[in-house]
Every structure is written in C-alpha cells, then in structure tokens.
C-alpha cells in the first residue's frame, strides 16, 4: 500500500500561531515521525513540504490516484488556553461526507487518547484538500493533532512527539490491517528528527 502524508500550511502561510509555535513548522516536524513508523507497514511518502497544498491545489492539479490513503496533518486552534488547566483539548479527524468507512480514523484517535489527548471524534466536512483527493477516488482524512493554543496539548506534544508519530502510524496500520511483514519503503529520511 502507498500512503501520502501532507503537512498542512507552509510556503508563506504559517497556519495557526500560539505559545511560540507556528503550525506549519509543527506539521512538518510530526509528519517525519509518522513516516518513520508508518514506513515499516507501507510505502510512505511525505508530499512536497515547500508547498501549501491548500493554495497549490486551487490552481494546479495533482494525481493522488497512486495512493491508497492520504493523511493531511494540522494543529487546531480555538482553545485559548495559554496557561493550561490540567486537561487536553485534544485530537479530532475530519473525513469528507463521501467517505464510507472511518475505521482508520477511529484507530488513530484511540491511540492518541491512550497517550493522553482528549478524543474529539471523527467528523465529516468537505475541506478543500481532502475533497479534491476524495474526488479522485482516494480515501483521505485531515488530522487536527492537538490544539496549538492549549498549553496542556502542546506540553504533551513536546514530551511525546516520537510516541505520537508511532501512535498515528500504528492507527493507520491497524485500520487497514497492515503488518510489518508487508514491508515499507525502507528509504527513510531521518534528517531533522
């Protein structure tokens, strides 16, 4: 199976900014951890991180058909909890209204909850990038990993980045029934991890 990871924002768009973090930097960091672990199960590619895919796909087309699954990764905002309150605001995943199954997304959320993030559930909304991917017949989801403006979320993220990358990768593998015996791409780029 071939899987594509898209880091949200970038190319001049910082995404959400809070607590000294920029969303575009965080998404580029975490997709490398996800790829590190997911590559044991499937051929895993990180989409060109010099692009903001939301803007790029407004004027360009891209063939997503070679992939069996595409995960677009973001960090949420709106918690407005810069001091923390002892609990996370959490993780949620969006799929399009056309998506049939949500087993993969539920497995990702289950694993994130085990790390300590509140499970905010699988939601349906036709966000631009995942809608364009789904229109090509490819399953896609948008992961809002944690709230960038919640100190509790960001403290947990910073303490457990590697574990989070593995949790997301294992959730995808569990949801699709992938095993390590099926092998991955083996051409990992660990730079900047």
Local confidence pLDDT in tens for the 193 residues of the chain: 999 999 999 999 999 999 999 999 999 999 999 999 999 999 999 999 999 999 999 999 999 999 999 999 999 999 999 999 999 999 999 999 999 999 999 999 999 999 999 999 999 999 999 999 999 999 999 999 999 999 999 999 999 999 999 999 999 999 999 998 665 554 433 333 3
Q: How many other C-beta atoms can be found within 10 angstroms of the C-beta atom of residue 166? A: 19
As to burial, measured by CB atoms within 10 angstroms (0-12 exposed, 13-18 middle, 19+ buried), residue 30 is buried
Residue 180: what pLDDT? 87
The β-bridge partners of 5 are 46, 71
Residue 184: what pLDDT? 58
Q: Which residues contact 135 (CB under 8 A, 6 or more apart)?
A: none
Sign of CA dihedral 164, 165, 168, 170: negative
HSE on the CB side for 89, CA within 13 Å? 21
Query: Quick one: tokens of 192?
Result: 């900047």
Q: Which residues contact 81 (CB under 8 A, 6 or more apart)?
A: 89, 147, 149, 150, 151, 152
Tell how far CA 136 is from the center of its chain. Answer: 20
Residue 189: what pLDDT? 37
Residue 191: what pLDDT? 36
């Amino acid at each position: 199976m071939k899987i594509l990871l898209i880091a949200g924002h970038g190319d001049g768009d910082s995404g959400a900014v809070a607590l000294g973090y920029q969303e575009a930097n965080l998404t580029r960091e975490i997709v490398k951890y996800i790829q590190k672990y997911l590559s044991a199960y499937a051929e895993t590619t990180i989409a060109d991180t010099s692009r903001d895919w939301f803007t790029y796909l407004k004027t360009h087309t891209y063939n997503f058909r070679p992939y069996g699954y595409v995960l677009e990764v973001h960090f949420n905002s709106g918690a407005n909890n810069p001091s923390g309150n002892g609990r996370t605001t959490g993780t949620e995943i969006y799929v399009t209204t056309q998506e049939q199954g949500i087993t993969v997304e539920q497995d990702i959320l289950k694993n994130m909850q085990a790390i300590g993030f509140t499970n905010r559930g699988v939601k349906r909304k036709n966000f631009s990038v995942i809608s364009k991917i789904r229109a090509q017949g490819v399953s896609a989801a948008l992961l809002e990993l944690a709230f960038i403006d919640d100190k509790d979320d960001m403290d947990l993220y910073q303490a457990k980045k590697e574990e989070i990358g593995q949790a997301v990768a294992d959730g995808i593998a569990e949801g699709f029934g992938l095993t390590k015996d099926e092998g991955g791409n083996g051409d990992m780029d660990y730079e900047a991890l």
